[in-house]
Amino acid sequence: MTSTTLPVLVHFNGTIFTEENYFEMYISSQTAWVTIVDTMNIVEVKQAILNHFNMSALNQYQVQLRYRLPIYICGGTAHYRSCIISADDDMEAIFFMAIEKVVQVHVEMMAFITPIQPNTTPNEVYYDLMNNFNFSLNLD
């Protein structure tokens, strides 16, 4: 069985802007193209992103990943919704959408990366991550 590679534009600790017409845009001062493979699990993807941004082991950083999922394309314009990548199933969904469904749209991820502090509880880290971007999603 052959592996499928996918170039992903990764935004580093940026901002997610949500507009009223269900369009989301990722903006950051640092971006990089990272190649992921369909055989990679979520831990391997996180480590590949850390390596690309010259960071060390995954056990020293809290990494939250999100990706932009096209919810519809109208008149040549793609409208996106941002989704959290929390499991290996999410990685499979990214490959399915990128390879099978919406091949003309490139995949973008946002990586919120913070160092793990020895005295910081997971809830505090999650709260800090949630405050790093505009979380005004209208999920009607």
pLDDT digits (tens, 9 = 90+) for 47-80: 888 888 877 777 788 888 888 877 777 777 777 7
What SS3 class is residue 130? helix
Closest CA to 13 of 50, 45, 41: 50
Mean pLDDT of 70-99: 80
What SS3 class is residue 96? helix
- Confidence (pTM): 0.70
Q: How confident is the model at residue 119 (pLDDT cuts 50, 70, 90)?
A: low
94 within some domain: yes
Closest CA to 61 of 10, 9, 128: 128
Asked if residue 112 has pLDDT above 80, the reply is yes
User: Which residue is associated with the tokens 């391997």?
Assistant: 44
Contact 37, 4 (CB under 8 A): yes
Mean pLDDT of 20-29: 73
49 within some domain: yes
107 within some domain: yes
140 within some domain: no
Q: Cite the beta strand spans of the chain per DSSP E.
A: 5-12, 15-18, 24-27, 30-37, 61-74, 77-85, 107-115
118 within some domain: yes
12 within some domain: yes
139 within some domain: no
Cα–Cα distance for residue pair 53/46, rounded to 1 Å? 11
Residue type, 4: T
Tokens of 88: 């290996």
10 within some domain: yes
Q: How many domains does the chain have?
A: 1
Q: Residue 20 is part of a domain; what is its CATH number?
A: 3.10.20.90
Cα–Cα distance for residue pair 17/12, rounded to 1 Å? 15
- Residue 44's domain spans which residues? 5-130
